Amino acid sequence: MATFLSALASSFGFYQEWEQKRLDLLWYQGTERKPSVVIEHESYWRSKIAAVVRKLLSFRAPLRVLVTYLWPPIPVADAGPPVRKILNAIERSIRSSRSSRKGEFVVVIGGDLEEPQDWVAYAWDEERKDWTPLAQSPP
């Protein structure tokens, strides 16, 4: 995943740093000193979700991204309740956080590990206090 994200960062014109400032990935635009995007990649969300969300929210980046996976791995198309469980856990952490909620918070959830294009993405809508679907991998 890190190699893919590095290539993605470069394609969007960002410079990527790895494992800096307690975060997995930070994307910088040009010569900016503050990251534009901060990313946490958490394979096992259940035990660490609250801490990961707090960590992401503690950085004042315009975009905060959490990448995680369904466990056990199943196709996201068949995973309404498990996906909702992850989103609810993240939402509880966002709502209970005292950190700034300025900027965007996005979660990408992978499903079947044998299918790298099996994923779904949501953005937290602070105004509506709900998740907005961004995209889902093609069937």
115: which 2 tokens?
């299918």
Above 90 in pLDDT, residue 112? no
pLDDT 10s digits, 1-57: 677 888 889 999 998 888 777 889 999 998 888 999 999 998 888 888 999 999 999
pLDDT at 115: 79
pLDDT at 133: 93
Return the higher-pLDDT residue of 63 and 118: 63
Burial string for 107-136 (b: 16+ CB within 10 Å, else e) reads bbbbbbeeeeebbbbbebeeeeeebeeeeb
pLDDT at 136: 63
